[in-house]
Amino acid sequence: DGGITQSPKYLFRKEGQNVTLSCEQNLNHDAMYWYRQDPGQGLRLIYYSQIVNDFQKGDIAEGYSVSREKKESFPLTVTSAQKNPTAFYLCASSIRTSGARRDYEQYFGPGTRLTVT
């Protein structure tokens, strides 16, 4: 069954603790992304990676870190420096685009709802 998975679905942490969210894909996609979704604000890009061992900051990277050691995996760590970490986190993947390609779709995982108290 091809697709993109995230685990766990729900995650609870105490304030001050780091937490790592998992994202795995078997679509053979080069590019992977992490978004944060808050009510009424749409999706905001945290980090993205075009290829293995390379990643760039998105619009709201402060307080987050990522790694891309394998093509299939792009874990996100929410650090204690993130001031407002409670949110719904979505991972996505896509083919690296070029002008000749026709499939630009980003495929999303089911998301992880993180609650920090």
Partner 1 sequence: GENVEQHPSTLSVQEGDSAVIKCTYSDSASNYFPWYKQELGKRPQLIIDIRSNVGEKKDQRIAVTLNKTAKHFSLHITETQPEDSAVYFCAASKLQGAQKLVFGQGTRLTINP
Nearest to 114 by CA among 2, 4, 22: 22
Decide if residue 71 touches partner 1 (CB under 8 A): no
HSE-CB for 3 with a 13 A CA cutoff:
7
With CB under 8 A as the contact rule, the residue among 13, 22, 52, 58 that binds partner 1 is 58
Query: Closer to partner 1 at the Cβ: 48 or 85?
Result: 48
With CB under 8 A as the contact rule, the residue among 40, 53, 83, 84 that binds partner 1 is 40
Query: Closer to partner 1 at the Cβ: 16 or 40?
Result: 40
Sites for partner 1 among residues 19-38 (CB under 8 A): 31, 33, 35
Supply the DSSP string of 48-94, one letter for each residue: EESSTT--EE-TT-TTEEE--SBTTB--EEE-TT-S---EEEEEEEE
| Cβ 85 vs Cβ 78: under 8 Å | yes
For 42, 65, 94, the CA distances from 107, given in Å and listed in that order, are 16, 21, 6
Query: Closer to partner 1 at the Cβ: 82 or 106?
Result: 106
With CB under 8 A as the contact rule, the residue among 13, 22, 27, 44 that binds partner 1 is 44
Interface residues with partner 1 (CB under 8 A)? 31, 33, 35, 40-45, 48-50, 56, 58-59, 90, 94, 96-99, 104-106, 108-111
